[in-house]
Structure 1
Amino acid sequence: MKGMPRDVHAEPVLATTRIQGDVLVGLLKKNELLLFFSIDSPADFVGFLKGLPLTSAQTVLEQRAEVAERRSRGVTALIPAPGLNVAFTAAGLAKLGVAGLAGVPGLEEFVAGMAARQAVLDDPDPAHWRSVGPQHPADGVFVLTGASRAEIDDTIALHLAPPDEHGWSVVREEVGTVRPDPVHGHEHFGYADGVSQPGVRGTTPDGDIITPSVDRDDHPDQGNLGQDLLWPGEFVFGYPGQDPQLGDPSPDFARPGALVAPPVPFMADGAFMVFRRLAQRVPEFDASVRALARSTSGADAVSPELLGAQMVGRWKSGAPVELSPVKDDLSLAEGTPRENDFEFGDDREGVRCPWAAHVRKAYPRDDVRHDTTPTELEVAHAEAFTQTHRMMRRGITFGPELSHAEALSGRTTQQRGLLFKCYVTSIAEQFEFVQQAWVDAPDFVQPGSGLDPIIGQPSTGTHSFLGAAPFSEDPTNKPALSVAHFVTMQGGDYFFAPSLDAIQSL
């Protein structure tokens, strides 16, 4: 996106001392523990909750600044940065006395809970979920992070224990760990994860920019190259959101949309948190990619490495196939300036990056639905529409590294996958919309695309996936593949992360 020069003074001042740290900035973590709980004595729990040292966005910004300063001096040792946040289900908020949520516009999905939305999300039967949900109902979750599990356990010992004396009990634990170098930040299939996070417009009360622009002249609407700056109301209540319509005939991407008001006053400076446990069958995925690659032929026959990259939309290094369609390019890999510096407008026919590639499904950028020859204005409006469905993702991997025994046998024997978290202000228009209208829609972005081969939830054992044709660049050469399902949703729910002030008001 390009527009007028960025006017930071026109952007909102964010209540960073009140907003929880994981929402807009992201708690620093090598390890994470999600401690799902039941509120057994609301009176005891409220007093305990008000005394917790919850980590604010301001604290996380200061921690990240310290890390950046140390790295500039060549110091790479980790700093102590324990994080503690909390979020509640609708049932949990009711126990805390937050009344009047039923029937409020914008809260329907939150009040219903994720299990009740199974048909919308094409999820497995909730009766078979192994994580939170109907089998393990939770009132809330403590989000604990640290450089090590010892740091997390120290936070528990100092501030959360003993649960029974504070009116709560543990329902379920989910343990996440960032994978080791050189696959740090990669999910278990091996691909760089969380590369395309949006930037956030706004400043702290002290005037510090939340997401600085690396190129304020040529790319005023971006933080890093390709990282679009979004208005904070997309992720936290009480601020302007994105304008889905823009202006005719000269679109202005820097113009804010309407104020995203909290559905009830308690929700100001808070956000919904979506949690899902996604199990991955890694050796089976690898075997399938090998077999599918062997089934391709002709000018656009692919190797397993290339087919896997096409299914994800990025090479394992993080380099986008849109920019490097036939071989990996480490100059475009995760952590390089151009890791996100692309749109899909130069590949409308999907010959480089398949229409159904995971990164294209989940974030279609300037793609136009059912149109491969759009006008410039249609592209601008499509981009504006896309940005109203973004999410602030905070996932982390769980489970052990793939063993050589599993790799040799081609069979998963140990549970591993992704603990998906995201923060939004509309569960329906952000998380659910992306899952239903994009990821699970076989005609998105164009008819015949097929489902997202990574996180799509097919109703049968296999689903269609239309590949690419990067060598010939002939759309008629794209292979139509039948892809099996290797990611299983095993439980989850909808939570709300209140502001620190809202917690004190209980």
Structure 2
Amino acid sequence: MTRDVHAEPVLATTRIQGDILPGLLKKNELLLFFRIDSAADFLPFLKGLPITSMETVLDQRAEVADRRTRGVTALIPAPGLNVAFTFTGLTKLGVAGLSGAPGLAEFEAGMAARQAVLDDPDPTHWRSVGPERHADGVFVLAGASRAEIDDTIALHLAPAGANGWTVVREEAGVVRPDPVHGHEHFGYADGVSQPGVRGTTPDGSILTPSVDADDRPEQGALGQDLLWPGEFVLGYPGQDPQLGETDPDFARPGPLSVPPVPFMDQGSFLVFRRLAQKVPEFDASVKALAKQTTGADAVSAELLGAQLVGRWKSGAALELSPVKDDLSLAEGTPRENDFEFGDDREGARCPWAAHVRKAYPRDDVRHTTTPSELEVAHAEAFTQTHRMMRRGIAYGPELSHAEALSGHTTQQRGLLFLCYVSSIAEQFEFVQQAWVDAQDFPQVGSGADPIIGQPHPGTLPFLGAAPFSEDPTNKPQLDVAHFVTMEGGDYFFAPALDAIQSL
């Protein structure tokens, strides 16, 4: 089978906001959550903003790639500005037909009202946006430096009061320095397994080229499955969960991702969550838990940490290198995602509840370790309908040696989690509820995700691995404390650029 690029949709790159599919270039990011005080003043201001399109981001990325081939490493100016709105924000702007529209129940309710579904902490205690700091929208500002972001604010967003809006909360993110560039504060490579996206630009360029078009036309990079764009942008075909039986390569498009209201065509839902991390406490706990493992499968703290995450700190997948790190498989190498879990059905190499296995189970089959080929195909097709385009970034200072020595967090740090989806319920909420928090997924006795499972009193049960003996009866049952706390968030919608102009 070969990849038929001509059968893939032409993406409206001048209409789609830039952060959704290619992602804004950034080393710094500022989220300005705002309230609309006067729609009459805000609307003309909004229409005059230079919102960064997908086309602009692709041009910026092409320029960066060209410079790298010529050995030029200096950063280019690439300021990014996107915008998204809550249900109340769109209502204030006069978008018609939202209330009661199919597929908008979660968006209309907002994240705080979905607390029970998501197992989130009490919203009245959230530090970030939520019931106590309600936002009508968010400006997503990105750049190579905070100075570049502040320049965008000065040129285009100020003064807020004269343009009918007020800042209710700021969240500032920064990419961590080399050699942990792109890693979250526990030290692990983050955002490694982003999906590829089918489709071409209007000039015929392929959005996600296949690096091995002859043998793996269904993939972009090795192990990076190509998904139909309707999983992330409304108005395009999405994945078909039934394809596993007849087309295991997922080459045929699924149903159209229909916009709930016409205004939402070419737009995407944005999920935001502030996730606070207690780094020295996590490190101390990992060392203590490692000492609880005994016998042939006793592990070091480094290996146990990798088992909790499912990857070594380098980004190398535990599935490919279960007993020691392997930099040839690390983040940025061709094989960083070149694996499934089919050769490790019993979770002897990578624990069933490891974070990367929970959040993206690949070809795992629920509640069976001896699935048929058809069951595997069905499971993998189903999994691909629940993917998310993640755009998270770390916040807060680097861990100080004083904190490390004391074992106690004194400065706030963590992850600003952002993702784009075409269905809040079937993508973000499903993953959080049915996979991450479910202690029987993928198999009975797995335990909850030890990284982002939310929240359980006391400790979380976690069934470890047996990487040396590969004997599933040797897997340790551990109790893992909770070191990531959700501190606020909400659901937003990022409209198309022409939809903004239509308001």
Q: Same fold (TM over 0.5)?
A: yes
The one-letter amino acid of 1:84's match is L
Q: Distance between the aligned counterparts of 1:250 and 1:195, measured in 2?
A: 26
1:494 match: 491
1:281 match: 278
**SS at structure 2 position matched to 1:306:** helix
Q: State whether structure 2 residue 214 is matched by structure 1 residue 213.
A: no
2:331 match: 334
Cα distance, 1:260 vs structure 2: 0.6
Structure 2 contact 245–377 (Cα < 8 Å) conserved: no
Cα distance, 1:74 vs structure 2: 1.3
Residue-pair matches, total: 503
**SS at structure 2 position matched to 1:63:** helix
Structure 1 contact 249–377 (Cα < 8 Å) conserved: no
The one-letter amino acid of 1:472's match is S
Q: State whether structure 2 residue 122 is matched by structure 1 residue 125.
A: yes
Cα distance, 1:253 vs structure 2: 1.0
Specify which of 430, 438, 454 is matched with residue 427 of structure 2: 430
**SS at structure 2 position matched to 1:21:** coil
Specify which of 155, 159, 178 is matched with residue 158 of structure 1: 155
The one-letter amino acid of 2:158's match is A
Q: Distance between the aligned counterparts of 1:248 and 1:343, measured in 2?
A: 19
Q: 1:30 to 1:250 in 2, by over 3 A?
A: closer
Structure 1 contact 200–230 (Cα < 8 Å) conserved: yes
1:196 match: 193
Q: Distance between the aligned counterparts of 1:426 and 1:88, measured in 2?
A: 15
Cα distance, 1:99 vs structure 2: 2.5
CA offsets 1:162-220 (integer angstroms, 9 cap, x no match):
00111101100000000000000000000000000000000011111111110101110
Unaligned runs of 5+ in 1: none
Cα distance, 1:459 vs structure 2: 2.5
**SS at structure 2 position matched to 1:127:** helix
2:459 match: 462
1:473 match: 470
Task: Name the stretch that deviates more: 97-106 or 437-446.
Answer: 97-106
Cα distance, 1:250 vs structure 2: 4.9
Q: State whether structure 2 residue 16 is matched by structure 1 residue 19.
A: yes
Structure 1 contact 14–205 (Cα < 8 Å) conserved: yes
**SS at structure 1 position matched to 2:498:** helix
Q: State whether structure 2 residue 413 is matched by structure 1 residue 416.
A: yes
Q: Distance between the aligned counterparts of 2:479 and 2:293, measured in 1?
A: 12
Moved over 4 A (4+): none
**SS at structure 2 position matched to 1:123:** coil
Q: Distance between the aligned counterparts of 1:141 and 1:458, measured in 2?
A: 26
Cα distance, 1:149 vs structure 2: 0.2
CA offsets 1:66-86 (integer angstroms, 9 cap, x no match):
111111111111110000000
CA offsets 1:379-426 (integer angstroms, 9 cap, x no match):
111000000000000000000000000000000000000000000010
CA offsets 1:310-347 (integer angstroms, 9 cap, x no match):
00000000000000000000000000000000000000
Specify which of 91, 94, 98 is matched with residue 94 of structure 1: 91
**SS at structure 2 position matched to 1:284:** helix
Unaligned runs of 5+ in 2: none
Specify which of 180, 183, 188 is matched with residue 183 of structure 1: 180
1:375 match: 372
Q: Distance between the aligned counterparts of 1:329 and 1:460, measured in 2?
A: 36
Q: State whether structure 2 residue 64 is matched by structure 1 residue 67.
A: yes
CA offsets 1:37-65 (integer angstroms, 9 cap, x no match):
00001011000000000000010011111
Structure 1 contact 191–317 (Cα < 8 Å) conserved: yes
**SS at structure 2 position matched to 1:188:** coil
Q: Distance between the aligned counterparts of 2:195 and 2:458, measured in 1?
A: 33
Structure 2 contact 245–378 (Cα < 8 Å) conserved: no
Q: Map residues 240-319 of structure 1 onto 2, 5 A cutoff.
A: 240-246=237-243, 248-319=245-316
Q: Distance between the aligned counterparts of 2:49 and 2:489, measured in 1?
A: 25
**SS at structure 1 position matched to 2:66:** helix
**SS at structure 2 position matched to 1:65:** helix
Cα distance, 1:101 vs structure 2: 1.1
Structure 1 contact 468–479 (Cα < 8 Å) conserved: yes
**SS at structure 2 position matched to 1:24:** coil
Q: State whether structure 2 residue 102 is matched by structure 1 residue 105.
A: yes
1:8 match: 5
The one-letter amino acid of 1:261's match is V
1:364 match: 361
Cα distance, 1:451 vs structure 2: 0.3
Q: Distance between the aligned counterparts of 1:75 and 1:307, measured in 2?
A: 40
TM-score w.r.t. length of structure 1: 0.99
Q: Distance between the aligned counterparts of 1:191 and 1:343, measured in 2?
A: 20
Q: State whether structure 2 residue 113 is matched by structure 1 residue 116.
A: yes
RMSD of aligned alpha carbons: 0.7
Q: Distance between the aligned counterparts of 2:229 and 2:57, measured in 1?
A: 17
Q: Distance between the aligned counterparts of 2:326 and 2:353, measured in 1?
A: 22
**SS at structure 1 position matched to 2:467:** coil
1:450 match: 447
Specify which of 171, 176, 192 is matched with residue 174 of structure 1: 171
Task: Name the stretch that deviates more: 52-61 or 244-253.
Answer: 244-253
Q: Distance between the aligned counterparts of 2:436 and 2:469, measured in 1?
A: 27
Q: Map residues 212-231 of structure 1 onto 2, 5 A cutoff.
A: 212-231=209-228
Q: Report percent identity of matched pairs.
A: 84
Structure 2 contact 36–166 (Cα < 8 Å) conserved: yes
